[in-house]
Structure 1
């Protein structure tokens, strides 16, 4: 007869499953938005005051129709310099990016980080059921990193 000398084994305590860290946990929800009829002059002023580099463009029905950035404003500045016009009078609709790539609120920030790297975009509007919920930026992802555990990343 063979006896086991391993002794009593204690069952490992069951761990609660780790919760994924989602885009909705780190996105900005108090957004600056613009209208397609706003002037680039106004956009540049707001972006500078708010210390942001871009924002969604919404139509009268609050539908996302584009995104405008500092780079888009720079295009109008260059056009004004070329035409020797000191004012930045172009409209958002002329310069905004119309084919906006969006993100869902339920994806992990790890997947979001991959999208930022793959697409080389600085911000994504966060949409659900056709409505704008917020925006996640590259800096939002970077700010989330120190609080992540190896089990949630």
Structure 2
């Protein structure tokens, strides 16, 4: 059986973050270096202010190529409306969110502060460990 069904027990507690003033080309370098597809954007106080995805980066690159401008900043292309999940939420709620909203990751919040990130991969690892602990595997 799973040791817990809470997001906090399976989330990444040290997620890669960016700031709004990070140059877009630097954000792309960070994505490639860390093999991630998106990151939370925080202000100087550590407050979550947005999310930047690979798609946002592509939009910025295309925008720059059309107007002969190089890059821009994360703040210019990030999504400011951010879907989050509470650290004490059940991992099945996170899984449902990923499936219904077609998201890859969610910032994890506790008392209004960013404390981590959970991804589809984190959930798959959690569910695999559940199956490896005696529950029959399907498929």
TM-score (norm 2): 0.88
| SS of equivalent to 1:148 | helix
Q: Which residue of 1 aligns with 2:21?
A: 37
Moved over 2 A (4+): none
Q: Which residue of 2 aligns with 1:60?
A: 44
Structure with greater proportional helix content:
2
Displacement, 1:106? 1.1
The 5-angstrom pairing of residues 109-124 of structure 1 reads 109-124=91-106
The 5-angstrom pairing of residues 79-118 of structure 1 reads 79-85=63-69, 87-88=70-71, 90-118=72-100
Structure with greater proportional strand content:
2
Displacement, 1:83? 2.2
Q: Which residue of 1 aligns with 2:61?
A: 77
Alignment deviations for residues 8-50 of structure 1 (CA, whole Å, 9 cap, x no partner): xxxxxxxxxx854211111001121111111111100111011
2-structure distance, mates of 1:71, 1:124:
16
Q: Which residue of 1 aligns with 2:125?
A: 143
Q: How many residues align?
A: 133
Stretches of structure 2 lacking an aligned partner (at least 5 in a row):
none
The RMSD of aligned alpha carbons is 1.9
TM-score (norm 1): 0.80
Stretches of structure 1 lacking an aligned partner (at least 5 in a row):
1-17
Seen in structure 2, the aligned counterparts of structure 1 residues 23 and 77 have a Cα distance that, compared at 3 Å, is: same
